Amino acid sequence: MKAIIVDDERLARTELRRLLLPFKEIEIIAEAVNAKDAAEKITQLNPDLIFLDIQMPGKNGFELLEELESAPEVIFTTAYDEYALKAFEFNALDYLLKPIEPHRLEEAIKRVTAKTKADKFVSTEKQYLMAEDQVFVKDGDRCWFVKLSEIRLFESEGNYARLYFNDFKPLILRTLNSLDDRLDPRTFFRANRKHIVNLKWIDNIEPWLNGGLLVKLKGGQKVEVSRRQSVKFRDMLSL
Question: Three-state SS across the chain?
Answer: CEEEEECCCHHHHHHHHHHHCCCCCCEEEEEECCHHHHHHHHHHHCCCEEEECCCCCCCCHHHHHHHCCCCCEEEEEECCCCCHHHHHHCCCCEEEECCCCHHHHHHHHHHHHHHHHHHHHHHHHCCCECCCCEEEEEECCEEEEEEHHHEEEEEEECCEEEEEECCECCEECCCHHHHHHHECCCCEEECCCCEEEEHHHEEEEEECHHHCEEEEECCCCEEEECHHHHHHHHHHHCC
Last residue of a domain, one of 125, 160, 186: 125
148 in the same domain as 119: no
Tell me how many domains the chain contains.
Answer: 2
Task: Give CA–CA dist 77/145, Å, rounded.
Answer: 42
What is the model's pLDDT at position 4? 97
User: What number of CA atoms fall less than 13 Å from residue 165's CA on the CB side?
Assistant: 19
Beta bridge partners of 214: 206, 224
Q: What is the pLDDT of residue 121?
A: 52
Q: What is the pLDDT of residue 40?
A: 93
Final residue before a domain boundary, out of 125, 158, 192: 125
| 178 and 72 share one domain | no
Residues 10 and 62 in one domain: yes
Per-residue pLDDT, 86? 85
CATH number for the domain spanning 23: value is 3.40.50.2300
* One domain, residues 162 and 214: yes
Are 100 and 154 found together in one domain?
A: no
Tell me, what CATH number does 193's domain have?
Answer: 2.40.50.1020
Q: Do 105 and 141 have their domain in common?
A: no
d(CA 73, CA 217): 32
* pLDDT at residue number 236: 81
Contact 72, 47 (CB under 8 A): yes
* Tens of each residue's pLDDT in the chain, 239 residues: 999 999 999 999 999 999 999 999 999 999 999 999 999 999 899 999 999 999 999 999 999 988 887 778 999 999 988 988 888 778 788 999 999 999 999 999 998 888 777 666 554 445 788 888 988 999 988 999 999 999 999 999 988 999 999 999 999 988 898 899 889 999 999 999 899 999 999 999 999 888 889 999 998 999 999 888 998 888 887 75
Domain that holds residue 58: 2-125
